[in-house]
Structure 1
Amino acid sequence: MRGPRPRMAVVTAAALLLALAAGGCRKAPPEVPMLLPRVEAGELPPLAERLPEQPLVVSTADPGAIQGGSLRLLDREARAWSTAQLRMAGLFRYDQVGVEVLPDIALGYQLAADARSLTLSLRPGHRWSDGQPFTADDLIFWWEAYAGNPAFEPDPFWRFETGEMQVTRLDDSRVRFDFPEPYPMVVDRWGRAAFSAEGPEGPMLPAHYLRRFHADYDPGAEALAEAEGFEDWQALFEDRIAPTRFDPERPSLFAWLPERRDGDRLRFTRNPYFHQVDAAGRQLPYIDAVEVRVHEDGDAFRAALSNGEADFEAYFIDTPDFDALEAGAAQGRYALRVATDLHGSMFTIHPNRNASDPVLRELFAQRDFRWALSLGIDREAIVREVFGGRARPYPALPLPEQPFFDPSWATLHIEHDPATAGRLLDGLGLDRRDAEGRRLRADGQALVMRLEMLASDPLNKPICAAVERDWRGLGITTECGATASPARFLEGQAAGQLLSPVWPTGRTTRFALRSDPRAFGFTDPAQQWWAPEWTRWLASEGREGSQPPAEIQDLAQRFEAWRALPAESPDYVRLGRAYFAWFAEALPMIGTVGLQEHPVLVGTRLRGVPAEGLYWGSDTNFYTPYLPPTWWLED
């Protein structure tokens, strides 16, 4: 099985520069102006010696781009995680919509026919930011020192009940990963740069720098940890590999490197060994530096935006901010572009099939009841009232761009049809009402739907109020319960206290539909909102939880068959369509609205940011599909 189809050409660095010179240029592409003094002083090798033998040629980069300048960013967090993701480079990256995996640091990969082995190819001659070689040894170090080392908490993604994963160095530029079972999901995961970049999640670390902090390689690591105030050497090591650590000494493969920090101001400068070039052979990134100002206070952050202090922002703004951002565009010297949020339904109701209330549990098991609840919601009103028209009715399903998606699913059972909803409820024996018009359950109590949601999401309250209004028209009482923190919400889920939890339908792209499916799969009871006890039984092979009906057991088997297939397999589409057709028709989760418009703020001096076909979300690592190394400043 071949790796991802390359969209960016790969040629040797020397051949690229020679070809450009031979093609009519009097000389090879010039050095980056910022780096030229260091090259002339002998502090840095010339460009051809700093690039990999086969650099990544970004053909979409603007040939008229100007090199230089400083990009201005704002951040809300002292750890600057948003900025880390902007600077990040991984083995691979996703396209805008999270379907295709494209090469970045990696030259490519080869997945075995049985998907039990993957050979990863690196770019020969690639170097860390300090000029030291980046080789297969850095991937082996990640596995032996950290991810596969019993001294650290294991990442469940790399653990198998059927055996152990093996990581083998084939040569300087090739590493083979052998799995005890078919595991094509590793490619899905690596498409998100945060999971294939240097750091605890990604499969490489700068071994030559980090050995000194690890007791298996340096006996002085424990004393160093104590001297720096860490509990043990493991804590020291994890601190040193954190992608958000502001550490000018740690070698990196990112586009921009930490240079200095002064209070709430951070500066990052270009990586002289970055592996990307444009079609003319000029090294990326075009922009020399990234200047970040941290405003943890929301009002201060918004004031800075309105004062024109940011060249780009999308991470800390959302759909409700559109009106204010549009009003301040002239003063803030920016324009707004519109991306589609990568969430499906933002407010998804999960009638708990394992609810502690036996009457509700029986009702939730009836497809007609779930259909009635869905048909009773006026989603167009929610779009107008809550989102100002900047969203659309959408079920609890993956994004429509996924290759297995049937277009008919996008509108199935989500039209507003209260008359049909009422007939379905009557047919379930819910035709009796009390003096207040509330439908009565089989035990004579009023039918009450209690929706538990997070108080921290400002959209939850108005959407729940709209659902309460609509269901009241059906004779159903709705209670909107708000939980203060995600931790308490998860505790309530684990204790079986949530009758109908509300949670967004995220993980709707290739990145996580198989590796972290949440309510679409049966791997994690803590995040399987509509069938937690069945999931507990399936995940523990019957040792815990409650046994699901045959229909759900068959569904779980189909999921396992689908997740064992390479995404390039024709059966990937066939089995994926069959699997999600069940969710579209059975409606175990009731979606409301989603695919909302997400604002993307682009300063008037910033160029190179894509203008169309934009998406925004964690599945694609937010910034990565926007190719920040190709951005440039007009002034």
Structure 2
Amino acid sequence: MLTRRTALGLFATALLPARLKAADREPDYLRKRIDAGELPPAAERLPKVPRVMDVTEFGGLPGRHGGTIRTIVSSQKDIRLMTLYGNTRLVGYDRNLAFVADVLESFDVVEGRIFTFKLRDGHRWSDGAPLTAEDFRYCWEDVLNNEDLSSGGLSVSLLVGGEKPLFEIVDPLTVRYTWKAPNPDFLPNLAAPQPLTLALPAHYLKQFHKKYQDEDKLAKLMKKNKAKKWTGLHIKMSRTYRPENPELPMLDPWCNRTPLPAEQFVFERNPFFHRTDQNGLQLPYIDKVVLSVSSSSIVPAKTGAGESDLQAHGIDFNDYTFLKDSEKRYPVKVTLWKKTQGSRFSILPNLNYDDQVWSNILRDVRFRRALSVAINRHEINMASFFGLATPSADTVLPQSPLFRPEFANAWIDYNPDLANRLLDEAGLAQRDDDGIRVLPDGRPAQLIVETAGESTLETDVLELVSDHWMQVGLAMFIRTSQRDIFRSRALAGKVMLSLWQGLDNGVPTADMSPAQLAPTAEYAYQWPLWGVHYVSHGAQGTAPDLPEVVELMRLLGEWQRSASMADRTRVWDRMLSIYTDQVFSIGTVNQSLQPILRSARLHNLPEDGIYGFDPTSYLGFYNPDTFWLEDA
């Protein structure tokens, strides 16, 4: 809810554009279209109350329009990075990870269950069409609640006690969502890296919807776009998170102008973007972002060869020395940010593994604890991270207000004697002639850890772990496969242990959902079948039957019904305690470092930052629309 002080600040900053001469407000990139009458002047392209970004607040400099940023991606799918970097949300996060209105002019929450959203008067989609309540109605009634388009039902974040909200249009610029009970999951999902979609460009998408389009014309559109069903056509043309349709009107700072397939994608500035700097200059500063597709194995080499102006994707800490050396040959700078994951690498025992003997063992907490205390994290830190990371369980970081030292220290001390004792107690006391422990059915205890094979650093860490586990009588083998195959095997229960990153969000506040601590996603590899069960509302997978996991699900439900910060904090604390004590994820080190390479001419990218997917959207947390190029 806006305070009087905030409202006055918005009113004052809304006047800023008038202080600049009209000619000074216009990007040269758009000038021809403006002169030709194809685009209105900036004063008419901006909302009456734009969102004002004070770039000096965190040590930045007011910029200027112009220039192109080059970056490298490892597949066509990675154009979704632009959705993350654009960081355009109905409700987003400020630098303190508090909720702030972004696309919305304001939002009001009553009793944690009534959410009233006010749109910015004059805000337009990238094609110039007004953003209004009709775009929310279309998304709600004709997409989210259309059984053909949303066969899986509504997102769980839109359901409270299994019931959906009452949606109302208060006026052309105000909409409201009302539940009978609190829904604390709602705002975090709007601010998420892959945000909940509540508004779609109805004026554009209705042509692909059978409710609004003539049957013959719809058939022609399906044929033109190689779609077998109208639903597939609508989904293809409306995809916002991975912006593959250049014709789809957007709200992001840059819009894709390149159709699939392509080896290079050009994103151009959105003439109707709703943010300005404190001087009234419309953002983004940068005119174009060019994404070049390359094999993941050579992204570091191309980055170090001067082919990128801004790079974080596809490079890792083991590339740092090489990239730092490129500063001698190219006008670039390389800095190190701290990763936000709960663990840089985490080993996930699959509690849904389809081998019954192994499943019983993996579900025994003594076995999971033994695996953890058998790992020498100090050696991993020194050998793979030059001692710059922090040995830790897979948990939240000290930067989170929810951090407690006992969570970070849970079952991480290197103790082979304790590991041996726990393994004996778990029924693996017998060994064969080679010293390998023997399963109850007589097979040797051979662990198989699978990875997506996307980093040599993964293999380096696993080879050390293999040595550690061998010392306590457990043989370990590494299997790498392509990510899609790896995920398919995990969902089928064919993966025994996975190597993945730890908690996506290592810097949560109590206002953010603790769903990552429970089986709520199909790609949570320690319990994929339980996760599928949750996502599918019980239609697929199986329900959790391990008491501690059932308790995590109960606590998550308690958080989802909470109406106060105190209640949410208490739930987070209890869930973190169970998660770390039960070692559902075997963390290694966290607060590891991520190289960030940028052009020496690029301003307003912090020297020090935090880097991760959730909740910070990688570079998006620092608003790349405020980055600018000197001598562009």
Q: TM-score normalised to the size of structure 1? A: 0.85
Q: Which amino acid aligns with 1:275?
A: H
Shift of 1:434: 4.3
Match of 2:584 in 1: 588
Task: Give the distance between the partners of 2:369 and 2:445, measured in 1 at CA.
Answer: 16
Aligned partners of 2:316 and 2:595 also within 8 Å: yes
Are residue 318 (structure 1) and residue 316 (structure 2) matched? yes
C-alpha distance in 2, partners of 1:33/1:443? 72
Partner SS for 1:107 = strand
Question: Larger deviation: 351-360 or 122-131?
Answer: 351-360
Aligned length: 617
1:235 aligned residue (224, 232, 236): 232
User: Matches of 2:255 and 2:541 in 1, distance apart?
Assistant: 48
Residue of structure 2 in register with 1:556 after alignment: 553
1:45 aligns with 2:45: no
* Structure-2 change in CA distance of 1:511 and 1:257 (3 Å): farther
8 Å Cα contact 1:63-1:279 kept in structure 2: no
Q: TM-score, normalization: structure 2?
A: 0.85
The correspondence of residues 138-153 of structure 1 with structure 2, limited to 5 A, is 138-153=135-150
Partner of 2:190: 190
Question: Would you say the 8 A contact 2:45–2:124 is kept in 1?
Answer: yes
What is the DSSP-based 3-state SS (H/G/I as helix, E as strand, rest coil) of the residue aligned with 1:598?
A: strand
Amino acid at match of 1:594: N
Residue 210 (structure 1) aligns with: 205
Partner residue, 1:620 = 616
Superposed displacement of residue 123, structure 1? 1.3
Q: State the Cα distance separating 1:55 from its structure 2 match.
A: 0.9
Aligned-pair CA distance for 1:139: 1.5
1:387 counterpart residue number: 385
What corresponds to 2:178 in structure 1? 178
Aligned letter for 1:129?
S
State whether residues 68 and 287 of structure 2, in contact with CA within 8 Å, keep that contact through their aligned partners in structure 1.
yes
- Residues 1:140 and 1:555: Cα distance change in structure 2 (over 3 Å): same
Give the conservation status (yes or no) of the 8 Å contact 2:394–2:408.
no
Q: Distance in 1 between matches of 2:356 and 2:245?
A: 56
Q: Which residue of 2 aligns with 1:16?
A: 16
Find the partner of 1:451 among 449, 452, 460.
449
> In the alignment, which residue of structure 2 is the partner of 1:272?
271
* Cα deviation digits, residues 370-408 of structure 1 (max 9, x gap): 333211100121223233445332212234433322133
Q: Which amino acid in the other structure matches residue 54 of structure 2?
A: S
Question: Which residue is equivalent to 2:80?
Answer: 81
Structure 1: give runs of 5+ residues left out of the alignment. Answer: 22-26, 197-201
Q: Determine the C-alpha separation between the residues in 2 that align with 1:242 and 1:543.
A: 25
SS of the residue aligned with 1:522?
coil
Q: C-alpha deviations, 1:588-635, integer Å up to 9, x for none?
A: 322122332111111111111122233232543223112111111111
Identity of paired residues, percent?
Answer: 28
Alignment CA distance shift 1:389-1:461 (3 Å): same
Q: Which moved more, 1:544-553 or 1:392-401?
A: 544-553
| Cα 1:478–1:513 shift into 2, 3 Å | farther
Against the structure 1 CA distance between its residues 306 and 133, is the aligned structure 2 distance closer, same or farther, given a 3 Å change threshold?
same
Question: Match of 2:107?
Answer: 109
Task: State how far apart, in whole Å, the 1-side matches of 2:594 and 2:271 are.
Answer: 34
> 1:407-444 CA deviation, whole Å, 9 max, x = no partner?
33222221212233334445556555444334455666
The DSSP-based 3-state class of the residue aligned with 2:618 is coil
Matched, 1:460 2:458: yes
- The aligned residue for residue 289 of structure 1 is 288
Letter in 2 for 1:572: R
Q: Give the residue type in structure 2 aligned to 1:176.
A: R
Structure 2 counterpart SS, 1:451? strand
Match of 1:599 in 2: 595
Change (3 A) 1:180 1:221: farther
Query: How many Å apart are 1:449 and its aligned residue?
Result: 3.5
Give distance in 1, aligned partners of 2:41 and 2:356: 73
Q: Alpha-carbon deviations, 1:41-69, whole Å to 9, x = none?
A: 65543333322121111012545423222
The one-letter code of the counterpart of 2:315 is I
Change (3 A) 1:73 1:7: farther
CA gap 1:623/1:167 in 2 versus in 1, 3 angstroms: farther
SS at match of 2:25: coil
1:577 equivalent to 2:573? Answer: yes
Deviation larger for 591-600 or 360-369: 360-369
Question: In structure 2, the residue corresponding to 1:420 is in which secondary structure?
Answer: helix
Which AA in structure 1 matches 2:170? Answer: L
Give 1:503 shift. Answer: 3.5
Matched-pair contact (CA < 8 Å) for 1:278–1:284: yes
Q: 1:30 aligns with which of 8, 24, 28?
A: 24
Secondary structure of the residue aligned to 1:252 is coil
Cα distance change, pair 366–256 in 1 and its aligned pair in 2 (3 A): closer
User: Alpha-carbon deviation of 1:361?
Assistant: 5.1
Q: Is the 8 A contact 2:333 2:597 kept in 1?
A: yes
Partner of 2:413: 415
- Counterpart in 2 of 1:504? 501
Cα distance, 1:333 vs structure 2: 1.9
The letter of the residue matching 2:556 is F
Alpha-carbon separation, structure 2, partners of 1:218 and 1:367: 57
Q: 1:634/1:485 Cα in 2 relative to 1: closer, same or farther (>3 Å)?
A: closer
- For residues 429-440 of structure 1, the aligned pairs below 5 Å read 433-440=431-438
Once residues 561 and 210 of structure 1 are traced to their aligned partners in structure 2, the CA distance between those partners, rounded to angstroms, is: 38
**Displacement of 1:206 after TM fit?**
1.7
Amino acid paired to 1:272: P
The answer to whether the 8 A contact 1:537-1:547 is kept is: no
- C-alpha change, 1:203 and 1:8, in structure 2 (3 Å) is farther
The answer to whether residue 477 in structure 2 is matched with residue 480 in structure 1 is: yes
Aligned to 2:130: 133
Determine which of 253, 256, 268 is the counterpart of 1:255: 253
Map of 1:118 onto structure 2: 115
Q: Is the 8 A contact 1:439 1:446 kept in 2?
A: yes
State the Cα distance separating 1:213 from its structure 2 match: 2.5
| Alpha-carbon contact 1:109-1:119 (below 8 Å) kept | yes
Contact 1:158 1:165 in 2 (8 A): no
**Contact 1:522-1:528 within 8 A present in 2 as well:** no
Query: 1:565 aligned to 562, 565, 590, which one?
Result: 562
Does structure 1 conserve the Cα–Cα contact (< 8 Å) formed by 2:514 and 2:556? no
Counterpart-to-counterpart distance in 2, 1:552 and 1:564: 19
* CA distance in structure 2 between the partners assigned to 1:275 and 1:537 by the alignment: 37
Cα deviation for residue 150 of structure 1 reads 1.9
Residue 275 of structure 1: CA displacement?
1.1
Do 1:71 and 1:311's aligned partners in 2 also have CA atoms closer than 8 Å? yes
Query: Equivalent residue for 1:199?
Result: none
Distance 2:141 2:535 in 1: 31
5+ residue gaps, structure 2:
none
Greater displacement, 218-227 / 131-140 = 218-227
Give the structure 2 partner of residue 521 of structure 1. 518
Structure 1 500/76 Cα, relative in aligned 2: closer, same or farther at 3 Å? Answer: closer
| SS of residue matched to 2:92 | strand
AA aligned opposite 2:553: A
Higher mean C-alpha displacement, 572-581 vs 238-247: 238-247
| Cα separation, 2, equivalents of 1:65 and 1:540 | 48
1:380, 1:420 → 2: CA distance?
A: 17
Kept in 2: contact 1:55–1:277 (CA 8 A): yes
Q: Does structure 1 retain, via aligned residues, the 8 Å contact 2:89–2:195?
A: yes
CA distance, structure 2, for counterparts of residue 143 and residue 408 of structure 1: 44
**In the alignment, residue 279 of structure 2 is paired with which amino acid?**
A
1:337 counterpart residue number = 335
Three-state SS of the structure 1 residue aligned to 2:108 is strand
